[in-house]
């Protein structure tokens, strides 16, 4: 089971235990009147998830009782969405329309029981007669019709003898019921229209309240799970099944809170408005919260399901921040996709002292060392870098190329700026640069040149021109009212971005991280050999949260105050925004977040490192301890290492290539020599030792040398475990994997 138990699963478990049902049957019952959205994904994940967890079954049922709005293209979209999310409804796709005859028979049964009648009031009168919350309603005079009259009229309604609205069939319940829905609810209405599946067979169609409970019953559903707005309909649900005296087991209805997300609209009706008004390119426009839109944009089904899991199942409606969904997709892709290079806004760089051509073997997964896969990266005299990776007059803390600051070209060499070429308007059109032949990435860098960061680039002669589609929130307001709140900048098309040649292929279906920019997906519809099109799935970090927070004017008194060393100093708005992001989104503890947020040098360093490897907690620890210590004595520009190297170091700890203890030594070496951590580990043989076959003999040796302590341990002094572990670590120069050592020592000491 994927998570802790929610209230629905508790109900299901109790029902299984009490023997109320032999099998759990749920259903996902959409109306095929539009494309499904992320709210439906939540319903799908709940219904299919519960069926899966309890070895039951979940039906997919098209709730097609409203023939004026429904269409087969929506049926297909719903099927596709469920499949894409990885669920299976078995052999049969169900339609409520398949039960029209059975539902009709139940209606006749109710009429014969005197529990339903044909009413001939106008729609207006029906509303008037219903009363109000504080006033009882009044029953229609037609409620006195005899069973024969009702049967006759109902038959003629069915045969199309009347026009729409002339009559309805109503349940005879209670016109003074506190629950207004129980005041003789409508069961059938006349609609003289063609049904997309049932054709012209019917001139009457059952209402939701009548059709839904009966369809559930017919299908043997045990738990009919729907959203909170149906809470008041539950009484009708029960009334219909009880009054018809249907044999148990029968279904019961349970309600959960529907999903709302900010900066978008979710109902199919509102989405249809956007589609029909051409405000978006179609139901699968990547800016829409539709499953088809997410799919086209490059979201993974896994990330959407993780999101549904995270938000949980609640009984109270709330608004979920879209940033949470974005976090899930980022987190999923971070683990999976190759890193490549793209330049969105190219600035030409001519490397004057470089002649010829070479192909650099560059790993696709530099953040995940053991994972194989690399491509050839052409390097030549003329390259393009991102325009904003060069600053003629850099602000403080600028890490990239400037007239006085060299930069590393990712996977390649360090370059420095020799000359800036401008056009007649003063716009920079080219940089003349010089490279350092000894500085090649991956080999011992003996150039002695200090850099603060590595930037992406492409070789001018080999780069491929592509179209990049950048997406922003579809609406500019958190809770949009309507079309007038559309964000005019929700789509930005960059026609001549440049990417490295390796990633442009025939008909790919691939996701990439364009380093330092974001995650991208080959557009499944518009991608062609002539114009490769990449959709931005999500940026590397949540820039939106920052943007909007900064705009908010906050009264001084509310500024967050964090106590340090007994002294309280208010944060600036920017620092506060960072602090919030670090604690809430990145889950850093408040002390670490406080240190980072208040120090621009540290937070910039931290964020650069995060782009290389996404483990905020561990990177933040090294940055606020080791890096901060270095920076007490040195300026940023005097550091020998760059953020990416720190990220690599953390990565090596995480994948257990090195122990934390050794990592400290590696950091010391790196901070003195600037060597790559991997190189330090390789050349000094610092790989962590996790192999029990190597560790066990060392332990045995120590046991033999310390008979007294062994005896004390066995006599009950368990504290001595630490002594033995410490001895082993010492013996291996700190390279032994403490976890393995702990286990083995405990085992060996308990053996006699
Ligand atoms: P819409 O207003 O978008 O048309 P709906 O509720 O009318 O939504 P249906 O097609 O009738 O959509 O719903 C199918 C199932 O999906 C229902 O059980 C419904 O409760 C559920 N559902 C719809 N929207 C959401 C949502 N935002 N969050 C969770 N479940 C939802
Ligand atoms: Mg609806």
Q: Tokens representing 332?
A: 């999923």
- What is the pLDDT at residue 544? 53
Confidence tier at 552 by pLDDT (50, 70, 90):
very low
**Ligand nearest, relative to CA of residue 29:** 1
User: What is the Cα 406 distance to its own chain's centre?
Assistant: 37
Q: Tokens representing 373?
A: 């896969």
List, for residues 395-445, the tens digit of each pLDDT value: 888 989 999 999 999 999 999 999 999 999 999 999 999 999 999 988 877
Confidence tier at 654 by pLDDT (50, 70, 90):
confident
What is the model's pTM?
0.76
What are the phi and psi torsion angles at 533 (to 5°)?
-115, 130
**What value does the mean pLDDT take over residues 382-392?**
97
Q: Tokens representing 724?
A: 């033995």
- What is the pLDDT at residue 189? 97
Closest CA to 101 of 207, 167, 198: 198
> Distance from the CA of 292 to the center of ligand 2, in angstroms?
18
Confidence tier at 553 by pLDDT (50, 70, 90):
very low
**What value does the mean pLDDT take over residues 328-343?**
95
List, for residues 515-537, the tens digit of each pLDDT value: 999 999 999 999 999 999 999 99
**What value does the mean pLDDT take over residues 182-193?**
97
The verdict on domain 116-206 having CATH code 3.40.50.1370 is no
Cβ–Cβ < 8 Å for 230, 210: no
Q: Tokens representing 415?
A: 């370059």
Is the pLDDT score of 551 beyond 70? no
- What is the pLDDT at residue 564? 37
Q: Residue 240 and residue 231: Cα distance in Å, rounded?
A: 15
- What is the pLDDT at residue 136? 95
Cβ–Cβ < 8 Å for 326, 264: no
Confidence tier at 748 by pLDDT (50, 70, 90):
confident
**Which atom of ligand 1 is closest in space to residue 227's alpha carbon?**
20
Is the pLDDT score of 43 beyond 50? yes
Given 13, 31, 273, 731, which residue is catalytic?
31
- What is the pLDDT at residue 657? 85
- Higher confidence at residue 671 or residue 203? 203
Please say whether the dihedral angle defined by the alpha carbons of residues 52, 53, 54 and 59, taken in this order, is positive or negative.
negative
Q: Residue 559 and residue 579: Cα distance in Å, rounded?
A: 12
- What is the pLDDT at residue 673? 86
Of 93-107, 325-339, 354-368, 725-739, least confident by mean pLDDT is 725-739
CA dihedral 676, 516, 308, 300 (to 10 degrees): -100
Cβ–Cβ < 8 Å for 248, 221: no
- What is the pLDDT at residue 542? 64
DSSP 290: B
DSSP string across 646-657? HHHHHHHHHTTS
Angle made by CA atoms 163, 127, 254, in degrees to the nearest 5: 100
Q: Say whether 4 sits in a helix, a strand or coil.
A: coil
**What value does the mean pLDDT take over residues 380-397?**
94
Domain 692-750, architecture per CATH: Orthogonal Bundle (1.10)
Q: Which helix (H) or strand (E) holds 386?
A: strand 382-386
Closest CA to 50 of 117, 5, 107: 5
**Which atom of ligand 1 is closest in space to residue 266's alpha carbon?**
3
Which residue has the least CA distance to atom 18 on ligand 1?
Answer: 226
Angle made by CA atoms 53, 54, 55, in degrees to the nearest 5: 100
Confidence tier at 338 by pLDDT (50, 70, 90):
very high
Which residue has the least CA distance to atom 12 on ligand 1?
Answer: 30
List, for residues 282-295, the tens digit of each pLDDT value: 999 999 999 999 99
List all residues whose CB is within 6 A of at least one atom of ligand 1: 29-31, 39-40, 42-43, 63, 226-227, 258-259, 266-268
Cβ–Cβ < 8 Å for 389, 381: no
Percent of the chain with pLDDT over 90: 69
Within 257-321, where are the H helices? Answer: 268-276, 291-297, 301-311
Is the pLDDT score of 1 beyond 60? no
- Fold of the 341-463 domain: Ribosomal Protein L25; Chain P (2.40.240)
Cα distances (angstroms) measured from residue 198 to each of 86, 91, 162, 193, 738: 30, 21, 19, 10, 69
> Distance from the CA of 81 to the center of ligand 1, in angstroms?
14
Is the pLDDT score of 133 beyond 70? yes
State the CB neighbour count (10 A cutoff) for residue 682.
Answer: 11
**Ligand nearest, relative to CA of residue 268:** 1
State the CB neighbour count (10 A cutoff) for residue 377.
Answer: 23
Domain range summary for the chain, segments of one domain joined by +? 7-99+208-259, 116-206, 260-297+301-335+474-499+504-570, 341-463, 571-684, 692-750
**Ligand nearest, relative to CA of residue 37:** 1
**What value does the mean pLDDT take over residues 121-148?**
96
Which residue has the least CA distance to atom 22 on ligand 1?
Answer: 40
Which residue has the least CA distance to atom 24 on ligand 1?
Answer: 39
- What is the pLDDT at residue 239? 98
Is the pLDDT score of 495 beyond 60? yes
- End-to-end alpha-carbon separation of the chain, Å? 40
Which residue has the least CA distance to atom 8 on ligand 1?
Answer: 267
> Distance from the CA of 39 to the center of ligand 2, in angstroms?
12
Confidence tier at 369 by pLDDT (50, 70, 90):
low
> Distance from the CA of 221 to the center of ligand 2, in angstroms?
21
- What is the pLDDT at residue 443? 80
Q: Tokens representing 25?
A: 């049957």
Domain 7-99+208-259, architecture per CATH: 3-Layer(aba) Sandwich (3.40)
- CATH number, domain 260-297+301-335+474-499+504-570: 1.10.1160.10
- What is the pLDDT at residue 367? 77
Q: Residue 687 and residue 659: Cα distance in Å, rounded?
A: 8
List, for residues 683-709, the tens digit of each pLDDT value: 888 888 888 888 988 998 898 888 888
Of 40-44, 84-88, 526-530, 563-567, least confident by mean pLDDT is 563-567
Paired sense of beta strands 428-435 and 318-320, if any: unpaired
Confidence tier at 547 by pLDDT (50, 70, 90):
very low
Which residue among 34, 40, 89 is best mutated to probe the pocket of ligand 1, counting the most ligand atoms within 8 A of its Cβ?
40
Cβ-based neighbours of 584, under 8 Å, separated by 6 or more: none
**Which atom of ligand 1 is closest in space to residue 43's alpha carbon?**
30
Which residue has the least CA distance to atom 27 on ligand 1?
Answer: 39
Is the pLDDT score of 679 beyond 90? no
Cα distances (angstroms) measured from residue 139 to each of 113, 122, 170, 688: 18, 13, 11, 82
The yes-or-no answer on residue 268 being catalytic is: yes
Strand partners, 238: none
**What value does the mean pLDDT take over residues 481-493?**
95
Q: Residue 306 and residue 586: Cα distance in Å, rounded?
A: 17
Which residue has the least CA distance to atom 15 on ligand 1?
Answer: 30
Paired sense of beta strands 457-459 and 518-522, if any: unpaired
Confidence tier at 550 by pLDDT (50, 70, 90):
very low
List, for residues 264-288, the tens digit of each pLDDT value: 999 999 999 999 999 999 999 999 9
Which residue among 8, 26, 38, 39 is best mutated to probe the pocket of ligand 1, counting the most ligand atoms within 8 A of its Cβ?
39
Please say whether the dihedral angle defined by the alpha carbons of residues 187, 193, 196 and 198, taken in this order, is positive or negative.
positive
The yes-or-no answer on residue 258 being catalytic is: yes
Which residue has the least CA distance to atom 9 on ligand 1?
Answer: 30
**Which atom of ligand 1 is closest in space to residue 229's alpha carbon?**
20
Cβ–Cβ < 8 Å for 123, 90: no
Q: Say whether 418 sits in a helix, a strand or coil.
A: strand
> Distance from the CA of 34 to the center of ligand 2, in angstroms?
9
**Ligand nearest, relative to CA of residue 74:** 1
Q: Say whether 6 sits in a helix, a strand or coil.
A: coil
Paired sense of beta strands 428-435 and 414-422, if any: antiparallel
Is the pLDDT score of 225 beyond 90? yes
Given 9, 139, 258, 651, which residue is catalytic?
258
Give the chain's count of helices (H) and strands (E). Answer: 25, 29
Confidence tier at 318 by pLDDT (50, 70, 90):
confident
Within 318-448, where are the H helices? Answer: 322-336
Confidence tier at 3 by pLDDT (50, 70, 90):
low
- What is the pLDDT at residue 569? 67
- What is the pLDDT at residue 563? 36
Given 268, 296, 297, 473, which residue is catalytic?
268
What are the phi and psi torsion angles at 172 (to 5°)?
-100, 100
**Which atom of ligand 1 is closest in space to residue 42's alpha carbon?**
29
**Ligand nearest, relative to CA of residue 62:** 1
- What is the pLDDT at residue 587? 85
**What value does the mean pLDDT take over residues 130-138?**
94
For the chain, the helix, strand and coil percentages under 3-state DSSP, each to the nearest 5? 40, 20, 40
List, for residues 709-734, the tens digit of each pLDDT value: 888 888 888 888 888 888 888 888 88
């Amino acid at each position: 089971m994927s998570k802790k138990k929610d209230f629905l699963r508790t109900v299901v478990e109790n029902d299984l235990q009490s023997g109320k049902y032999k099998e759990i049957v749920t259903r996902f019952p959409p109306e095929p009147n539009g494309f499904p959205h992320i709210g439906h994904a939540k319903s799908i994940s709940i219904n299919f998830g519960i069926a899966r967890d309890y070895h039951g079954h979940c039906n997919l049922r098209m709730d097609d009782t409203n023939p004026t709005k429904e269409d087969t293209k929506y049926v297909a979209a719903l099927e596709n969405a469920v499949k894409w999310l990885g669920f299976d409804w078995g052999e049969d796709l169900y339609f409520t329309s398949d039960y029209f005859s059975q539902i009709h028979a139940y209606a006749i049964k109710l009429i014969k029981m005197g529990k339903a009648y044909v009413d001939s009031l106008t729609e207006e009168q029906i509303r008037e007669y219903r009363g109000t919350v504080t006033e009882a309603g009044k029953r229609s005079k037609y409620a006195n019709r005899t069973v024969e009259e009702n049967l006759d009229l109902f038959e003629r309604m069915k045969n199309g003898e009347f026009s729409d609205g002339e009559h309805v069939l109503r349940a005879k319940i209670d016109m003074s019921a506190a629950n207004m829905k129980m005041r003789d609810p409508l069961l059938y209405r006349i609609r003289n229209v063609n049904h997309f599946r049932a054709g012209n067979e019917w001139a009457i169609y059952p209402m939701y309240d009548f059709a839904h409970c009966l369809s559930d019953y017919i299908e043997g559903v045990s738990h009919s799970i729907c959203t909170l707005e149906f809470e008041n309909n539950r009484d009708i649900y029960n009334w219909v099944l009880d009054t018809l005296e249907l044999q148990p087991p029968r279904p019961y209805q349970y309600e959960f809170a529907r999903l709302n997300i900010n900066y978008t609209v979710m109902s199919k009706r509102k989405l249809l408005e956007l589609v029909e008004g051409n405000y978006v390119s179609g139901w699968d426009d990547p800016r829409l919260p539709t499953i088809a839109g997410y799919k086209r944009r490059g979201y993974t089904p896994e990330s959407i399901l993780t999101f549904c899991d995270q938000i949980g199942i609640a009984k109270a409606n709330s608004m979920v921040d879209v940033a949470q969904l974005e976090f899930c997709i980022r987190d999923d892709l971070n683990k999976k996709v190759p890193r490549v290079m793209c330049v969105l806004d190219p600035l030409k760089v001519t490397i004057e002292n470089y002649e010829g051509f070479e192909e650099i073997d560059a790993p696709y997964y530099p953040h995940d060392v053991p994972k194989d896969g690399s491509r050839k990266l052409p390097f030549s005299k003329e390259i393009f870098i991102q325009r904003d990776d060069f600053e003629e007059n850099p602000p403080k803390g600028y890490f990239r190329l400037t007239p006085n600051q060299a930069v590393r070209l990712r996977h390649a060499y360090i370059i420095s700026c020799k000359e800036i070429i401008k056009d007649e308007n003063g716009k920079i059109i080219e940089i003349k640069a010089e490279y350092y032949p000894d500085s090649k990435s991956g080999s011992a860098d003996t150039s002695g040149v200090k850099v603060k960061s590595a930037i992406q680039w492409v070789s001018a002669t080999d780069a491929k021109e592509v179209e990049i589609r950048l997406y922003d929130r579809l609406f500019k307001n958190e809770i949009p009212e309507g079309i007038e709140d559309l964000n005019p900048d929700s789509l930005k098309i960059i026609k001549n971005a440049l990417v490295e040649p390796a990633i442009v292929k025939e008909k790919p279906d691939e996701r990439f991280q364009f380093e330092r920019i974001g995650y991208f997906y080959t557009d499944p519809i518009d991608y062609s050999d002539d114009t490769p099109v990449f959709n931005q799935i999500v940026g590397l970090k949540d820039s939106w949260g920052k943007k909007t927070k900064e705009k908010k004017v906050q009264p001084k008194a509310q500024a967050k105050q964090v106590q340090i060393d007994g002294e309280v100093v208010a944060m600036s708005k920017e620092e506060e925004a960072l602090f919030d992001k670090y604690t809430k989104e990145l889950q850093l503890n408040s002390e670490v977040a406080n240190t980072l947020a208040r120090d621009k040098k540290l937070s910039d360093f931290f964020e650069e490192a995060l782009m290389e490897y996404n483990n905020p907690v561990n990177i933040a620890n090294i940055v606020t301890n080791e890096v901060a210590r270095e920076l007490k004595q040195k300026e940023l520009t005097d550091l020998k290492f760059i953020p990416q190297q720190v990220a690599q170091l953390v990565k090596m700890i995480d994948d257990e290539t090195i122990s934390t203890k050794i990592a400290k030594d590696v950091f010391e070496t790196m901070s003195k020599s600037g060597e790559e951590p991997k190189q330090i580990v390789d050349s000094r043989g610092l790989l962590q030792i996790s192999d029990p076959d190597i560790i066990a003999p060392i332990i045995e040796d120590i046991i033999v040398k310390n008979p007294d302590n062994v005896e004390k341990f066995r006599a009950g002094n368990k504290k001595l475990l630490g002594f033995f572990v410490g001895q082993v670590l010492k013996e291996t120069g700190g390279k032994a994997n403490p976890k393995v050592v702990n286990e083995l020592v405990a085992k060996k000491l308990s053996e006699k």
